[in-house]
Amino acid sequence: MPAVRRVTRRVGLPCVGRMQPEKKTMIEYRIHGRGGQGSVAAAYLLAAAAFEAGFTCQAFPAFGAERRGAPVMAFVRIDEKPITLRSQVRNPDFLIVQDETLLLDPTLTNGLKPGGAMLVNSRKTSDEIAEKFDTRVVAFPATDLAVKIIGKPIPNTALLAAFLALTEHVPQDALAGALRGRFHGATLENNLTLIAEAAGAVEAGAWKETADA
């Protein structure tokens, strides 16, 4: 994993081999979690929020053994242009890790772009986790917050809110809009409370300028 570099551009790989490279606008995300934590739902919510904010989007799971507790991955791409690529996300700009036991998986950060970053659902400090990884890390106790506010250990919406607060890729009200498209009643109200609190718990815009270059 190359060393973290200071960031200069908002996103993207330069197009390879073009005389005049088009500006690449696609941002790619990989969500790691365990069955039951709502990783696929998180991917769909992130994509739906991006759509609410005017982007094109694509979200899909990597299907494996479909059972609670099994490691699962889901992928999201957002862009200003139509997305034709269908492969799994191999070189994400960002990782969202819903379960800290997955930090033990040596392949977790495979392909993460230099200048990328990783948000981890954990009670540990960001520094504690960061010392084992060659990328920027923010740790955030999303499960605790979810238990406190919605009464269930499902960290996905809290993590998304924190993630969007850090990156500012998509405004928080777009995430709220995506939640309204998926949930109703008390579940919706509780999740809206949860995302508002989660968004305020991290440094706003800390990952706004990201990079790879």
Partner 1 sequence: MREALEGSLAIARAVALTKPDVVAAYPITPQTHIVENISKLVADGDMHTEFVSVESEFSAASVVLGAAAAGARAYTASASQGILLMSEVMFNIAGLRVPLVMTIANRAVGGPLSIWNDQSDSMAVRDSGWIQIHCISNQEAVDTTIQAFRIAQETDLPVAVCMDGFVLTHTMEVIDMPSQEEVDAFLPPFEFAGALDTANPRSMGTLVDPNYFAEVRHSHHAAMGKALAKIEEIDAAYAEVTGRASGGLLTVDGPKKAKVGIIAMGSVVGTMMAGREHYGGEVGEARIVKLRSYRPFPAKALRAAVKGLDKVIVIDRAISPGMGGVLGTEVSAVLSTLDKAPKVYNYALGLGGRDIPETMYRDLLTTIEAKDAPRFAVFDADLEKLPPEDR
26 with 77: CB under 8 angstroms? yes
Nearer to partner 1, 4 or 213 (CB): 213
Per-residue x/- track, 123-162, partner 1 (CB under 8 A): ----------------------------------------
Nearer to partner 1, 81 or 123 (CB): 81
**What part of residues 74-113 is at the interface with partner 1 (CB under 8 A)?**
83-88, 90
For the bound state, the minimum distance from the C-beta of residue 19 to partner 1, rounded and expressed in Å, comes to 7
**What part of residues 18-37 is at the interface with partner 1 (CB under 8 A)?**
18-19
Per-residue x/- track, 41-80, partner 1 (CB under 8 A): --xx--xx-xxx---xxxxxx-x-----------------
Nearer to partner 1, 103 or 164 (CB): 164
Among positions 15, 70, 186, 204, the unique one binding partner 1 when judged by CB under 8 A: 15
